[in-house]
Amino acid sequence: MNNLFDCAIIGGGPAGLNAALVLGRARRNTILFDNDNPRNAVTQESHGFITRDGIKPHEFREIAHRDISKYPSVIHKKKEIFSITKKEQLFELVTSDKELYQSKTIIISTGLKDVLPDIENIVDYYGKSLFNCPYCDGWELRDKPLVVIIEEQTQGFHFIQTVYNWSKDLIVCTNGKSILNAEQKRLIQNNGIKIIENKIKNFIGKDGQMEKIYFESGDNIIRKGGFVLPQPIQASDFAKKLGCEYNSLGGISVDFYGRTNIQGVYAAGDASVFAPAQLIIAAAEGLKAAAGVNRDLIQKEFLE
């Protein structure tokens, strides 16, 4: 097999998958690397993508791979990339099992990881009755008694206001931190929202369905679900090691076509667009990055 490609895509989420589809249709020799560890692995259903509303993430990926398989110029490798280095006009990619590939361009679509608050058994409920995106899961939790868990002020206040759109029966928990200022507290409480600043001990429920929240103070509250504001971090440091610039939110800085400040390096999906983290947005960003790759390769080919 020829290990030199027009584009190597690192990350097989919606951005990487859509980029592979577009590049395949553009007749570009493309390789897609996917370690099969998506950010939405805990998600039961995906929403907000017209014609795919409510689809299970694994089903979405299966359909995407069937679509891509129609195009023989695209190769899919279930391998993890260990390192990427730029040598003159090519990128050298080494997998975790020491296979070497070369590519004229790369698209980084490795996405983000969510760092959850330090609460004993929060992972047992995350993605089942505790979510991070009201646009994705607010409809299913509408009008239920909900909790909003925040540990950060700037985005946290807006997060509370947003969740209030789906349920007026809210309790805000800051998990032992005093992060809301007096004016924010006044506005929240004026809308009938209770604020609890005690540290959360754990959640009580069955099969990931929340029933109660216990605090280290010994108190407890009845809640049937809620939302948490995790801290997103880059799932890989490839962009950093290649010298890419980042925006103020921590996403990889790109132009409209996904170009970074490093020639030949493109980024798409949650890795570059921190918020809103939506399936349809990530897929669209993958399309734009793929178009950017193809445009730039065409320009280069005409100059040679």
From 189, 205, 228, give the residue that closes a domain: 228
Q: CA angle, 289 as apex, 294 and 255 as ends, to 5°?
A: 115
pLDDT at site 1: 47
Return the percentage of the chain with pLDDT > 90, whole number.
83
The distance in angstroms from the start CA to the end CA of the chain is: 26
pLDDT at site 39: 59
Q: Are residues 175 and 204 in the same domain?
A: yes
Token pair 């921190």 in the structure block, residue = 274
pLDDT digits (tens, 9 = 90+) for 228-242: 999 889 999 999 999
For residue 145, what pLDDT band results from cuts at 50, 70 and 90? very high
pLDDT digits (tens, 9 = 90+) for 187-227: 999 999 999 999 999 999 999 999 999 999 999 999 999 99
Please report which residue ranges of the chain form alpha helices under DSSP H.
14-25, 57-68, 134-137, 153-164, 182-190, 238-242, 279-303
pLDDT at site 163: 97
Q: Are residues 206 and 217 in the same domain?
A: yes
> pLDDT at residue 277 above 80?
no
| Mean residue pLDDT across the chain | 93
Helix (H, G, I), strand (E, B) or coil at 148: strand
Amino acid letter, 160 = I
Residue 190 structure tokens = 């004026």
Is the bond preceding residue 57 a cis peptide, omega within 30 degrees? no
pLDDT at site 275: 66
* Burial annotation 246-280 (CB, 10 A radius, 16+ → b, else e): eeeeebbebeebbbbebebbbbbbbbbbbeebbbb
Q: Are 282 and 13 in contact (CB under 8 A)?
A: yes
Q: Are residues 107 and 248 in the same domain?
A: yes
pLDDT at site 218: 96
> pLDDT at residue 25 above 80?
yes
Going by the DSSP 8-state scheme, the letter that residue 253 receives in this structure is P
CA 215/CA 194 separation, integer angstroms: 15
Q: CB neighbours (10 Å) of residue 202?
A: 16
Stated pTM of the model: 0.92
Q: Are 8 and 103 in contact (CB under 8 A)?
A: yes
Q: What is the CATH number of the domain that holds 102?
A: 3.50.50.60
Q: How far is CA 264 from CA 13, 89, 90, 248, in A?
A: 21, 8, 8, 23
Q: Are residues 87 and 60 in the same domain?
A: yes
Rg, C-alpha atoms of the chain:
22
Token pair 């399936």 in the structure block, residue = 279
Q: Are residues 28 and 90 in the same domain?
A: yes
Token pair 């195009």 in the structure block, residue = 71
Q: Are residues 192 and 250 in the same domain?
A: no
Q: Are residues 220 and 265 in the same domain?
A: no
Q: Which of 124, 107, 117 has the alpha carbon at shortest distance from 258?
A: 107
pLDDT at site 185: 94
What are the residues whose beta carbons fall under 8 Å from the beta carbon of 74, sequence distance 6 or more? 20, 21, 23, 24, 30, 31, 32, 68
Mean pLDDT across the stretch 253-282?
Answer: 91
- The count of structural domains within the chain is 2
pLDDT digits (tens, 9 = 90+) for 85-112: 999 889 999 999 999 999 999 999 999 9
What are the residues whose beta carbons fall under 8 Å from the beta carbon of 152, sequence distance 6 or more? 179, 229, 231
pLDDT digits (tens, 9 = 90+) for 149-176: 999 767 899 999 999 999 999 999 999 9
Q: Which domain holds residue 144?
A: 117-228
Q: Are residues 133 and 67 in the same domain?
A: no
From 201, 228, 255, give the residue that closes a domain: 228
pLDDT at site 150: 95
Q: Are residues 98 and 190 in the same domain?
A: no
Q: What is the helix (H) or strand (E) element at residue 232, kind and residue range?
A: strand 231-234
From 228, 255, 280, give the residue that closes a domain: 228
Q: Are residues 221 and 161 in the same domain?
A: yes
Q: Are residues 34 and 183 in the same domain?
A: no
Q: Are residues 10 and 88 in the same domain?
A: yes
pLDDT digits (tens, 9 = 90+) for 28-83: 999 999 987 765 566 778 888 989 898 998 899 999 999 999 999 999 999 999 99
Mean pLDDT across the stretch 272-283?
Answer: 83
Residue 156 CA to its chain's centroid (Å): 18
CA 50/CA 55 separation, integer angstroms: 10
